[in-house]
């Protein structure tokens, strides 16, 4: 039993890292644009399918393939922002953007269904089948590589946000859009690029997700509901909160699976509800308090 | 409520009276059409459209009672729809109700919906805006998961309704009238709420919740009441739907597209408007049904793409909905050259009862975030 639990914890932390990557994109978009991107889940699936196609059709290694899929998803993100998000203004913007991104998700899901069908696919790279033996447990390489990739990208995002001029303008926009505008920041450009970055990380997240889990176009719903739970728990707009919440929630789910496989997802949402009863703004929700 | 755009009537005198009689005539005409529909088109394939249209008019109007008035967008109405269906199924098999006696259980389904709405509302209504929407989605997934995993719901197989020994030819007609009664009742309730002090309090919450509380509105109690009313109605019509289609599975009772479709109906017709929401349902549901019956759209993905595309067009180009936008055009045409005589009784109300979406530009976008 102890071995199973330790395996579950290790699994949870490794997968949690990947979820953290996807959730950071979501929470970053929320922080800067004040919108919730419901399409994030299906975009992860789109990223997974991109890697899958490159791998099966052109036999490009999934990690090398990221050099193509990440910029591609960045462009998709900027395009979605340009075509739909940027036009929405006014008092009902919150609900409008939510519905728009939901509609975008539906369209992408339908297109994916049309291309790939309803069957479940999985990326079968060499990493996914071979295992490594650490501390008495066996772990597939893809989990470790995926975790390292996620950590590298999150660190990269941190560096971008806290060490560059662009990052400073992003944080300024997150704090106060009007003030950012007044000091000469091109808020629209910042918003477009941030949206692109938030979507671009789904390419990497989707690749690891597609290599560790069987997926079809419908898997986006499951993903987005988990990601939303994670960013609410972490406090919307808080990047550190998203990281912590992702690892915590996925580990919790993974550990509960040891005893109750069918109810583990319910524990996931029950934890969300419980936390919200005690702290309506999540663990790190200072910003969210103001955003209310 | 005078959201319905009536024909341009007399201009100089008796405008109000003519308007009122026109409206009464319109109401009678709508009632005659609604009641006569299954008589005129007895073909079951056609009445099927009628039943679904009425079910969705009810659902969308019930959604509008809560979300349209308070501005809290609920994407979890399927929680009540599915729960109502399962409640009816469980009660009918547990208490051995068969045949038409099953309809006596409809209030029970409503009670179940109301009982579920109280704790869900108490938790979800603590938060606002985005977080509220997400919490309703989370509750939706919790309920779908329970339907998959609880013992009495029979997992993916779902539940079957008790057998109803009506002949196939006239099977749909009683369901049509039941659903129609619910639709009419829900619209009437929505109208009564809109006119009442309660409705004013709800809309005060939509405009500025903190100020409403400052003025003495017991916001939590008011919001929760509307949520419970909406949930109870949705659960009842969900159980009607269940008895009509005779089965429910977790994926059909708790369908994420269901939530989205309701919101599309409301936004298409005019968010916050009673008649607009009902008309939106009357347009969207038959079209969706028809698309699903077409062989070239089989598999569902094309109708999904179309639903998404229509949604995008509506929100981006007609954010106040088709009918208010059309109403503005009519007003503009009618008042060309005479800008001061905008009749407040017809179109002006429709426009003002809908949140001013296009007002303000960049600055209001940011003030939404800082509120």
Check A90 against B309: CB less than 8 A apart: no
A172-188 residue pLDDT tens? 888 888 888 888 888 88
Highest mean pLDDT among B31-40, B76-85, B139-148: B76-85
Which residues neighbour A272 within 8 Å (Cβ) at sequence distance 6 or greater? A229, A232, A233, B135, B138
Would residue B225 count as lying in a domain?
Answer: yes
Check B134 against A232: CB less than 8 A apart: yes
Reported ipTM: the value is 0.74
* pLDDT over 90, % of chain A: 8
Contacts of A37 in chain B (CB under 8 A): none
3-state secondary structure of B159: strand
- CATH number of the domain encompassing residue A187: 1.10.3470
**pLDDT of residue A291 exceeding 70:** no
Mean pLDDT of A158-172: 86
pLDDT the model gives residue B62: 92
CA nearest neighbour of A35 among A45, A26, A48, A44: A26
Rounded to whole angstroms, how far apart are CA atoms A227 and B148? 21
Per-residue CA distances from B326 to A72, A125, A126, B285 (Å): 40, 55, 59, 21
- CATH number of the domain encompassing residue B62: 1.10.3470
Q: What is the pTM assigned to this prediction?
A: 0.78
Check A228 against B134: CB less than 8 A apart: yes
B36-75 residue pLDDT tens? 777 777 777 788 888 888 999 999 999 999 988 888 888 8
Q: Please give, rounded to a whole number of angstroms, the shortest distance from the CA of B74 to a CA of chain A.
A: 10
Question: How many of the other CB atoms lie within 10 Å of CB of A262?
Answer: 12
Backbone angles phi, psi at A164, to 5 degrees: -120, 165
Instruction: Indicate the number of domains in chain A.
Output: 1
Domain that holds residue B80: 49-299
What is the helix (H) or strand (E) element at residue B21, kind and residue range?
helix B15-40
Contacts of B205 in chain A (CB under 8 A): none
pLDDT the model gives residue A281: 65
Mean pLDDT of A220-238: 82
Instruction: Indicate the number of domains in chain B.
Output: 1
Check A221 against B256: CB less than 8 A apart: yes
Contacts of B311 in chain A (CB under 8 A): 99-100, 102-103, 106
pLDDT the model gives residue A46: 93
Highest mean pLDDT among B76-80, B205-209, B255-259: B76-80
Please check whether residue A266 touches B, CB under 8 A: yes
pLDDT the model gives residue A42: 92
Which chain A residue has the Cα nearest residue B264? A99
Do residues B150 and A234 touch, judged by C-beta distance below 8 A? no
Mean pLDDT of B329-334: 79
Do residues B5 and B347 touch, judged by C-beta distance below 8 A? yes
Please check whether residue A139 touches B, CB under 8 A: no
Question: How many of the other CB atoms lie within 10 Å of CB of B329?
Answer: 11
pLDDT the model gives residue A283: 63
Confidence of residue A75 (pLDDT cuts 50, 70, 90): very high
Domain that holds residue A225: 2-291
Please check whether residue A152 touches B, CB under 8 A: no
Check B311 against A106: CB less than 8 A apart: yes
Instruction: Say how many CB pairs under 8 Å bridge A and B.
Output: 173
Mean pLDDT of A124-135: 72
B211-237 residue pLDDT tens? 888 888 888 899 999 999 999 999 999
pLDDT the model gives residue B368: 34
Rounded to whole angstroms, how far apart are CA atoms A99 and B264? 8
B266-294 residue pLDDT tens? 888 877 788 888 888 888 888 888 877 77
Do residues B155 and B149 touch, judged by C-beta distance below 8 A? yes
Contacts of A109 in chain B (CB under 8 A): 301, 304
């Amino acid at each position: 039993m102890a071995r199973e639990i330790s395996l579950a914890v290790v699994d949870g932390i490794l997968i949690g890292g990947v979820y953290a990557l996807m959730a950071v994109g979501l929470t970053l978009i929320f922080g800067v644009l004040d919108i919730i991107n419901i399409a994030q889940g299906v975009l992860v699936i789109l990223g997974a399918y991109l890697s899958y196609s490159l791998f099966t059709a052109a036999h490009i290694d999934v990690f090398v393939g990221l050099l193509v899929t990440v910029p591609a998803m960045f462009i998709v993100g900027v395009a979605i922002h340009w075509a739909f998000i940027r036009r929405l203004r006014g008092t009902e913007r919150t609900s409008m953007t939510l519905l728009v991104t939901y509609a975008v998700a539906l369209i992408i899901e339908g297109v994916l269904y049309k291309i790939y069908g309803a069957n479940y696919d999985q990326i079968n790279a060499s990493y996914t089948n071979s295992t490594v033996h650490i501390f008495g447990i066996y772990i597939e390489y893809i989990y470790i590589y995926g975790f390292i990739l996620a950590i590298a990208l999150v660190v990269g995002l941190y560096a971008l946000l806290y060490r560059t001029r662009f990052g400073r303008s992003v944080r300024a926009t997150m704090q106060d859009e009007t003030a950012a505008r007044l000091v000469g920041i091109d808020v629209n450009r910042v918003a477009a690029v941030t949206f692109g970055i938030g979507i671009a990380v789904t390419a990497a997240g989707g690749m690891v997700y597609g290599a560790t889990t069987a997926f079809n176009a419908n898997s986006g719903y499951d993903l987005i509901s988990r990601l939303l739970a994670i960013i609410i728990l972490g406090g919307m707009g808080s990047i550190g909160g998203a990281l912590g919440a992702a690892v915590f929630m996925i580990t919790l789910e993974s550990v509960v699976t040891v005893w109750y496989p069918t109810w583990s997802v319910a524990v996931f949402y029950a934890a969300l509800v419980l936390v919200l009863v005690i702290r309506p703004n999540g663990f790190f929700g200072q910003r969210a308090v103001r955003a209310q | 409520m005078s959201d319905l755009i009536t024909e341009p009537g007399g201009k100089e005198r008796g405008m109000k009276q003519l308007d009122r009689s026109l409206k009464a005539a319109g109401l009678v005409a709508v009632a005659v059409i609604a009641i006569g529909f299954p008589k005129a088109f007895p073909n079951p394939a056609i009445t099927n459209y009628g039943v679904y249209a009425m079910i969705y008019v009810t659902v969308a109007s019930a959604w509008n009672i809560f979300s349209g008035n308070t501005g809290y967008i609920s994407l979890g109405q399927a929680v009540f729809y599915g729960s109502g269906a399962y409640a009816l199924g469980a009660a009918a098999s547990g208490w051995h109700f068969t045949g038409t006696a099953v309809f006596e259980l409809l209030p029970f389904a409503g009670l179940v919906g109301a009982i579920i709405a109280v704790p869900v509302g108490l938790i979800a209504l603590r938060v606002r805006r985005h977080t509220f929407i997400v919490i309703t989605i989370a509750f939706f997934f919790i309920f779908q998961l329970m339907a998959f995993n609880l013992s009495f719901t029979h997992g993916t197989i779902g539940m079957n309704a008790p057998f109803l020994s009506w002949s196939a030819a006239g099977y749909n007609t009683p369901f049509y009238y039941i659903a129609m009664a619910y639709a009419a009742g829900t619209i009437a309730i929505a109208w009564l709420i809109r006119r009442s002090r309660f409705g004013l309090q709800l809309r005060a919450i939509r405009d500025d919740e903190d100020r409403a509380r400052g003025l003495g509105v017991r916001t939590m109690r008011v919001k929760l009441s509307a949520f419970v009313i909406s949930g109870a109605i949705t659960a009842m019509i969900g159980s009607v739907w269940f008895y009509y289609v005779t089965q429910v599975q977790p994926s059909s009772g708790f369908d994420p597209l269901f939530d989205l479709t309701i919101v599309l109906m409301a936004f298409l017709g005019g968010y916050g408007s009673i008649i607009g929401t009902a008309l939106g349902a009357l347009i969207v549901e038959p079209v969706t049904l028809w698309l699903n019956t077409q062989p070239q759209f089989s598999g569902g993905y094309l109708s999904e793409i179309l639903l998404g595309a229509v949604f995008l067009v509506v929100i981006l180009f007609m954010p106040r909905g088709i009918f208010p936008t059309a109403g503005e055009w009519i007003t503009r045409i009618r008042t060309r050259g005479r800008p001061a005589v905008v009749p407040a009784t017809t179109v002006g109300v429709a426009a003002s009862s809908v949140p001013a979406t296009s007002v303000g530009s960049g600055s209001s976008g940011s003030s939404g975030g800082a509120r």
